[in-house]
């Protein structure tokens, strides 16, 4: 089928996230300066509209399934003030949705920063702009200083997910119910809630959540279509069990099938040694360890994604690619790594490159054909 025909089919009924490719692919954090690499090397992503659009268009040409921006309101300090500059997710998704054809376009939405009526309306607008490709990624917030910018405290961890459940309940009702409704909840009260038109994707857009805590996992299993996991790259058997347990939780407790994804980062060179040398250069020689320390400390205090004590060991992976799985080596090794991610049970991975555009162009040239040849795409 030509891309145009596929796009038409998606517009009518579904999202590229539900295609049958063995490993689905996406970009991660292409809306923020630095992307996913916390380093002072030259060539890291500088967020301007032309730069972020170039990355989205490259992903579109490769028929990536997902464009996942990160919701961030201030940076993490250090000399890079990592992720301090960047574009707001809904407006980014609207622009990117208008200018791409194939990938699902996500907006990462911090629950306490946006009223559900506004979120439902904006999401619907972007779903129309993108022809049914919008995905709502729900995050509850953990970077305390950025949530406090909105003038209210970051509420207690588990209560954040109760608030998110009310927030999403209102949004789903607006997306699906024709009649106006009132809602009296603990966190939200709405009167005569009304939405027209409805989203293109019926009954409503795809929903993602990446909560790592027990409460977050139950939220995703119960309410969402796509969940993200963070795991120790050195323990793939543990990751396999964790992914299987996630699916089992969704199926057995909530009667639902969910997709499970993870993040990864790509450093590909002619030889493994060259790839490792470049990794050492941008992570160990040029990494911004002050910014990453601030990041993992606030994450350690306010989120439950990383096992206690794992923060120190994960710092390196956060510098290299936001805690993702390393795809470091030759093209064959990158392909093998992606095959491994599929083998442990993941549906897909959102990727980043330290030098984002250069890395994506190389991926397009050599990795995509190799993935096709390996039957993974
Ligand atoms: C792939 C992925 C994407 C995420 N995107 C964001 C984001 O854009 N903004 C944000 O504040 N948190 C983001 N998170 C963090 C999670 O949504 C979650 O808040 C955090 O991992 C803490 O989990 P917990 O709330 O279950 O303790 C992301 C996590 C992952 C794994």
Half-sphere exposure of 28 (CA within 13 A, CB side): 24
Match 């608030």 to its residue by tokens.
Answer: 163
Stretch (H or E) spanning 153: none
Å from CA of 369 to ligand 1 middle: 32
| Residue owning the nearest CA to atom 15 of ligand 1 | 210
Q: How far apart are alpha carbons 323 and 98 in whole angstroms?
A: 30
Query: CB pairs under 8 A, 24+ apart, for 177-184?
Result: none
Structural domain for 328, as ranges: 3-373
CA 119 to chain centre: 18
- The total number of structural domains in the chain stands at 1
Match 């194939």 to its residue by tokens.
Answer: 102
CB proximity list for 62: less than 8 A, separation 6 or greater: 25, 363, 364, 368
- Closest among 324, 318, 316, 336 to 268, alpha carbons compared: 336
What is the pLDDT at residue 7? 56
pLDDT tens series, the chain, 377 aa: 676 666 555 544 668 999 999 999 999 999 999 999 999 999 999 999 999 999 999 999 999 999 999 999 999 999 999 999 999 999 999 999 999 999 999 999 999 999 999 999 999 999 999 999 999 999 999 999 999 999 989 999 999 999 999 999 999 999 999 999 999 999 999 999 999 999 999 889 999 998 889 999 999 999 999 999 988 888 999 999 999 999 999 999 999 999 999 999 999 999 999 999 999 999 999 999 999 999 988 887 777 777 666 777 788 989 999 999 999 999 999 999 999 999 999 999 999 999 999 999 999 999 999 999 999 99
Atom of ligand 1 nearest to the CA of 72: 9
Atom of ligand 1 nearest to the CA of 230: 31
Identify which of 160, 210, 226 to mutate to test ligand 1's pocket (most ligand atoms within 8 A of the CB): 210
Å from CA of 13 to ligand 1 middle: 29
Q: What is the DSSP letter of 285?
A: I
**Max CA separation in the chain (angstroms):** 63
Atom of ligand 1 nearest to the CA of 29: 8
Ligand 1 and 211: CB distance under 6 A: yes
Atom of ligand 1 nearest to the CA of 214: 26
Match 């989205």 to its residue by tokens.
Answer: 56
| Residue owning the nearest CA to atom 4 of ligand 1 | 210
Between the CA of residue 358 and those of 55, 175, 364, 365, what are the distances in Å? Answer: 10, 40, 10, 11
Identify which of 35, 93, 139, 233 to mutate to test ligand 1's pocket (most ligand atoms within 8 A of the CB): 139
Please give the angle made by the CA atoms of 284, 359 and 94, to the nearest 5 degrees: 110
Q: How far apart are alpha carbons 88 and 70 in whole angstroms?
A: 9
Q: How far apart are alpha carbons 351 and 329 in whole angstroms?
A: 15
For residue 312, is it left (φ>0), alpha (ψ between -120 and 50) or beta?
Answer: alpha
Structure tokens at 229: 């996991």
What is the pLDDT at residue 308? 66
Ligand 1 and 300: CB distance under 6 A: no
- Beta bridge partners, 262, equal 229, 349
Atom of ligand 1 nearest to the CA of 143: 11
Å from CA of 5 to ligand 1 middle: 34
Atom of ligand 1 nearest to the CA of 70: 8
CA 88 to chain centre: 14
Please give the angle made by the CA atoms of 2, 17 and 365, to the nearest 5 degrees: 55
Q: How far apart are alpha carbons 359 and 340 in whole angstroms?
A: 21
Ligand 1 and 69: CB distance under 6 A: no
What CATH number does the domain containing 211 carry?
Answer: 3.20.20.30
Q: What is the DSSP letter of 16?
A: G
Q: Is the preceding peptide bond at 203 cis, omega within 30 degrees of 0? A: yes
Å from CA of 210 to ligand 1 middle: 5
Ligand 1 and 30: CB distance under 6 A: no
């Amino acid at each position: 089928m030509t891309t145009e025909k596929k796009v038409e089919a998606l517009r009518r009924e579904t999202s590229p996230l539900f295609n049958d490719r063995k490993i689905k692919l996406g970009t991660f954090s292409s809306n923020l300066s630095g992307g996913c690499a916390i380093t002072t090397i030259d060539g890291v992503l500088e967020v301007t509209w032309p730069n972020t659009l170039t990355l989205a268009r490259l992903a579109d040409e490769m028929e990536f399934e997902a464009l996942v921006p990160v919701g961030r309101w201030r940076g993490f300090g250090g000399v890079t003030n990592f992720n301090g500059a960047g574009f707001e997710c809904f407006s980014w998704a609207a622009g990117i949705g208008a200018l791409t054809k194939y990938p699902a376009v996500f907006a990462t939405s911090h629950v306490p920063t946006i009223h559900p009526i506004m979120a439902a309306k904006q999401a619907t607008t972007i779903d129309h702009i993108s022809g049914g490709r919008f995905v709502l990624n729900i995050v509850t917030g953990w970077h305390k200083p950025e949530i406090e910018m909105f003038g209210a405290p970051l509420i207690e961890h588990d209560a954040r997910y109760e608030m998110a459940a009310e927030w999403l309940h209102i949004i789903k009702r607006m997306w699906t119910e024709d009649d106006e409704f009132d809602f009296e909840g603990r966190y939200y009260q709405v009167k005569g809630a009304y939405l027209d038109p409805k989203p293109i994707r019926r009954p409503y857009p795809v929903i993602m959540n990446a909560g790592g805590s027990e409460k977050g996992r139950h939220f995703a299993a119960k309410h969402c279509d796509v969940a993200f996991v963070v795991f120790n790259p050195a323990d793939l058997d543990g990751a396999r069990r964790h992914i299987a347990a996630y699916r089992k939780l969704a199926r057995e407790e909530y009667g639902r099938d969910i997709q499970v994804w993870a993040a990864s980062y790509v450093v590909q060179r002619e030889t493994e040694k060259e790839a490792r040398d470049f990794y050492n250069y941008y992570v160990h020689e040029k990494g911004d360890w002050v910014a990453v320390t601030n990041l993992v400390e606030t994450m350690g205090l306010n989120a439950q994604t990383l096992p206690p004590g794992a923060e120190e060991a994960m710092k390196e992976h956060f510098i290299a690619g936001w805690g993702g799985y390393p795809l470091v080596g030759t093209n064959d090794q990158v392909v093998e790594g992606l095959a491994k991610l599929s083998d442990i049970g993941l549906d897909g991975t959102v990727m980043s490159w330290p030098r984002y555009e250069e890395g994506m162009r190389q991926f397009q040239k050599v990795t995509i054909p190799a993935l096709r040849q390996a039957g993974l795409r």
